[in-house]
Amino acid sequence: MGIVVQKYGGSSLADASSVKRVARRIVESRRQGHDVVVAVSAMGDSTDELLDLANEVSPLPPARELDMLLTAGERISMALVAMAISDLGFTARSFTGSQAGVITDSVHGRAKIIDVTPGRISTALDEGHVVIVAGFQGVSQDTKEITTLGRGGTDTTAVALAAALHADHCEIYTDVDGVFTADPRIVPSARKLDRVSYEEMLELAACGAKILHLRCVEYARRYDIPIHVRSSFSQLEGTWVVPDAAADLPEAEDMEQAIIAGVAHDRSEAKITVVGVPDKVGEAARIFEALADAQINLDMIVQNISAAATSLTDISFTLPRADGQTAMKALAGLRDEIGFASLLYDDKIGKISLIGAGMRSHPGVSAKFFSAIAAAGVNIQMISTSEIRISVIVDEGLVDAAVAAAHSAFDLDSDEVEAVVYGGSGR
């Protein structure tokens, strides 16, 4: 058999008994004849605890030192898992991200993987060891500094290792049984998907579904790595993320594939409205250039039609809530230069997204989606669409109602038992 890469998140490694359970699972794969490489996250909520500790020591910790601190969590996990495997009669070798050959750019806190040179991993596998790698971290190619990949970075570590090692597939172990049609914490009747395409999973991840990190899915699609999302708390078959979710299904079953893959939500965004922007060539560009210079990623953007009497328009956009004040400061510096009237900031919003490749060929999806949300008494503030996605911004307090209404409108509810959430946040 070939190489299998597994990833275990913080909820799967919450305490010593959990570490032992994960070790037994890894050894089971080894006994089946696989060469096993494992990427691990920090235990439980230890990354958040380290962040809190850093903020107690310093209100603005240097980015380099913060990365050095945060990588400690994964190093603890990797060593403990290796110890537990040793007690089960198998040898294991643990490696930090840099030892494993995970090469990144030099951006602290959200570095991107640019190469993986797994020489030490390959040698350890050849010697018969199970390999445990600290996820979420690497080493900068130019500065040789330790870097972290940002939230969810262990997902990306696992898929990058799978690509570099030409693994058969990558197993992402979490605290739910797979990818569901909605967050089972909000919609207990959500249905588990047997298969989902890279394209749909990218939209689900980008729209707030926490089951897989966006960059992990992008990496898997680029290198054609099948991902098996499953629970570390059960033996159930999970969800396969593959190039085409219906490619290997019989023709009759293919025809019955659902129009909608799922409903995602995101409560981590804020909305900024630039009021009274002169409707002249280049003004919008200056606004968004200032935000780009501040390293802020934008999501939805809406510009109103300018008023005939004043030739002024309003521009609204959403962005990560954590970047809200940085964006407001960057825009405030442009007020005199551009001459807009004011800035409005709202961090009490949520995004609801309907996702499915079947939208391309089925009319009426938008009408049904908007009708369902209206029937739930939820007002829509902004709308954005792609070929396979419709997203709306609503009041944060109405997110649950909107998700449940959309889920039911498209008959996504399961007739079977309620989805089980074993613990943690779903990653």
Look at residues 138, 67, 156 and name the one whose alpha carbon lies nearest to residue 108.
Answer: 67
pLDDT in tens, 78-125: 999 999 999 999 999 999 999 999 999 999 998 999 999 999 999 999
pLDDT in tens, 233-246: 888 999 999 987 66
- DSSP symbols for 205-274: HHTT-TTS-HHHHHHHHHHT--EEEEETT-----EEEES-TTTTS-HHHHHT--S--EEEEE-SEEEEEE
Angle at 333 between CA 332 and CA 338, to 5 degrees: 90
> 306: number of CA atoms within 13 Å, CB side?
15
3-249: CATH architecture: 3-Layer(aba) Sandwich (3.40)
- Of all helices (H) and strands (E), which one includes residue 344? strand 342-346
Q: 54, 69 in Cβ contact below 8 A? A: yes
CB atoms within 10 A of CB 276: 15
Average the pLDDT over 340-369 and give the result.
93
- Mean model confidence pLDDT for the chain: 91
- Of all helices (H) and strands (E), which one includes residue 418? none
Is a pLDDT exceeding 50 seen at residue 369?
yes
Average the pLDDT over 345-357 and give the result.
95
Both structure tokens of 340: 């807009």
Average the pLDDT over 310-315 and give the result.
92
Is a pLDDT exceeding 90 seen at residue 169?
yes
The values of phi and psi at residue 159, to 5°, are -70, -35
pLDDT in tens, 41-75: 999 999 999 999 999 999 999 999 999 999 999 99
Beta strands across the sheet bearing 113-116: 113-116, 102-104, 137-140, 146-148
In angstroms, the CA 111 to CA 290 distance is 22
In angstroms, the CA 398 to CA 351 distance is 10
pLDDT in tens, 244-263: 766 554 444 444 456 899 99
Kindly report the pTM of this predicted structure: 0.86
- Of all helices (H) and strands (E), which one includes residue 13? none
Both structure tokens of 252: 């009759």
